[in-house]
Structure 1
Amino acid sequence: MSAVLLCLVALGFVSIVVEDVVHIDKAKTTLFFGSLVWVLYFISPPAGETREALMLALDDNLLDIASLWLFLMAAMTFVAYLSSKGIIDGIVNRLIPERMSERQLMLLTGLFAFCFSSMADNITATLVCIAILLNLNLPTDKLLRYVVLVVFSVNAGGTALITGDVTTLMIFLADKVEIPHLLLLSLPAFLAVASLSLMLSRGLDGQLVLEKKEVHINGGDKVVAGLFFATILSTIGGNILFGIPPVLMFLFGLSLMFMVVQFLNRDEPTLEYIRKIEFDTLLFFLGVLLLVGMLKELGVLAYFPHLYDVMPPLAANYVMGLVSSLFDNVPLTAALLNSGIEMTLPQWLTLTYAVGVGGSLLVIGSAAGVVAMSKVESLTFGSYLKYSGYLLVAYSVGFAGVLGVSALL
């Protein structure tokens, strides 16, 4: 049965790759295979597994999924409101000059995504960045380049902060690194983003002429926009000071938005904005996380620590970054930490960078990539894979940069 389940999980991921061939929405196929493997897991459980143990495993996975679902729902509702009120257009008008080259836009996009994801979570940063790019009405082939850069940049942006990436926080809590050491990762992470920006800007020689629109934003919408950024900051602060889960703070911020709009404009149907979010995105997340959860239950991730027995730690860390584009980096990092492997401080820093940024190498390797694929119709597994060479070079540049700054310690 374990072999059957592994084959079905593989088929689930293959269905994402061949979406353009079979013309079946990836949300449908991943949900089908994701739920099927768990049904079969209960019908024919591993030897010695009790029903209570099976329910505990399912509940743990559903808790992770529910947290991500609710967080994504809250963030997408916020962005849907801000976009419909023209606030995203207002940001475009303020940040982007009326005339600029496409290469300048590429560098500006990478910088903005990198910095914004350092303050916000990857999902929120991706949603905002893509909303801005879609408002520019770029040609499809050029839009893909900018979206690929956004996915890579938001993953790189949070690597150096314990609030920016869960795996960074896990390695910090395990006393493998300290905050001053982590901050050193900002430089090589940005170097990776800059190198990818330069590579993706090759052949972009056009000029972008932005038609400035007069956007009138009333006082109430400005209050909601301020509440959105206050929610982001309070999510970070609440998690650091009191350990409040980010999903709880974002749900509280969303409820405040509903109340504020209710008192400012009683005729505003705020709950309608929940219906505007793309639920196929949420279903896709559900299917993917069910598949990843099954891999964890089957013990697949437990094999990766053995890689350190046959390879030098630095080489193994580099490979772990590549592996994190296929497997969820959180259970992967947990498996490495629980294995008791011994590494030096520079080696732990390279692992922190690798599992944080490596998920960008495939579009399904990170939450940012999955969100982007659901928001941009032309972004598929295959179209993203075309830039895999550039992404691998940028990832390698950042990895080498981490070795360089580690030499300063």
Structure 2
Amino acid sequence: MTLFIPKESPEAVTEAQEMKRGGWVIIGLFALTIITSACFENFLHLPPAAGMMLGLTYLSFFSYYLQKTTSSTHLFAPVKVDYFAPMKYMGNPKAAIQQDEEIDQSFDVFHKVANLEWDTLLFFYGVMVCVGGLSFIGYLELTSNYLYGADVDPTIANIAVGIASAFVDNGTIMLAVLTMQPDISQGQWLLVTLTAGVGGSLLAVGSAAGVGLMGQAKGVYTFTSHLKWTPVIALGYFGSIAAHFFINDRFF
């Protein structure tokens, strides 16, 4: 794929970037949120999601503090932001469109949550619910008995799982495999992790990164534009499987 990358180099950005007020504290709150989630699960036996929601509470309190301690002059000072800057080097004429928007420099956590890519989040929520439903009614157990039964080679099954992850989010496919709890060797577990990860990139909808990018770069990165890379990714997919068997043969 490197053969298709333009040879020219983008202009260097010499302007110094300053971290906004409260940036280091927010980074610390993020680390504290991860620690809180781990402690909730290990010590309080609560879902990690509860710890993540408590982290949102940390951020909400700090957001309130930032708003109350920001001067009115600084609060409404507009700044020009080019949202298309990361896409200018993708060789797409549409990415050259300039859109200057004024944004508020104050940090408002509710504004950030409101501007989330809800279509993407609902997509992942929907597929996770589908996996839970299929597990509840027993279809995942039937699939596990068929894929990882005595009649099917686990290698073939794991390669098929990787190809299937191109059509359904690879994280969801991996969740389904973990829910099945197949009795396979360590090498096969490594293989299914590899195939689900790489196979998800065969199509744009197969990975969280692809779905998220389609939501953010509407009209620039699309399902159709990704298809031209599918043959090259497929070559890498089967090449990675061969490399796995060559390097990790002792785990099978």
If the TM-score is normalised by the length of the shorter chain, which range does it land in?
A: 0.5 to 0.7
Change (3 A) 1:214 1:389: same
Q: Which has the higher relative contact order, 1 or 2, with Cα contacts under 8 A spaced 6 or more apart?
A: 1
Change (3 A) 1:258 1:322: same
Is this contact kept in 1: 2:41–2:47, CA < 8 A? no
Whether 1:223 and 2:25 are equivalent positions in the alignment is yes
The equivalences for 1:184-263 within 5 A come to 199-200=1-2, 202-232=4-34, 234=35, 237-238=38-39, 241-242=42-43, 245-263=47-65
Q: Which position in structure 2 is the counterpart of 1:376?
A: 217
Deviation at 1:319, TM superposition (A): 1.6
Deviation at 1:360, TM superposition (A): 3.0
Deviation at 1:356, TM superposition (A): 4.2
Give distance in 2, aligned partners of 1:401 and 1:364: 26
Change (3 A) 1:403 1:286: same
Q: Which position in structure 2 is the counterpart of 1:321?
A: 162
Give distance in 2, aligned partners of 1:239 and 1:209: 47
* Matching residue within 140, 147, 151 for 1:307: 147
Is this contact kept in 2: 1:346–1:406, CA < 8 A? yes
Deviation at 1:293, TM superposition (A): 5.6
Deviation at 1:310, TM superposition (A): 3.9
Give distance in 2, aligned partners of 1:375 and 1:331: 25
CA displacement 1:288-317 (0-9 Å, x = unmatched) = 555556655675543354134443222222
Change (3 A) 1:249 1:219: same
Q: How many residues align?
A: 207
Q: Which position in structure 2 is the counterpart of 1:129?
A: none
Deviation at 1:333, TM superposition (A): 0.6
Unaligned residue ranges in structure 2 (runs of 5+): 71-105
Give distance in 2, aligned partners of 1:277 and 1:213: 28
Name the aligned partner's letter for residue 173 of structure 2: N
CA RMSD of aligned residues (A): 3.3
Change (3 A) 1:276 1:336: closer
- Give me the TM-score of the superposition, normalised by structure 1: 0.43
CA displacement 1:94-129 (0-9 Å, x = unmatched) = xxxxxxxxxxxxxxxxxxxxxxxxxxxxxxxxxxxx
Give distance in 1, aligned partners of 2:63 and 2:5: 46
Deviation at 1:224, TM superposition (A): 1.6
Deviation at 1:257, TM superposition (A): 1.5
Highest Rg: 1 or 2? 2
- Give me the TM-score of the superposition, normalised by structure 2: 0.65
Give distance in 2, aligned partners of 1:354 and 1:255: 38
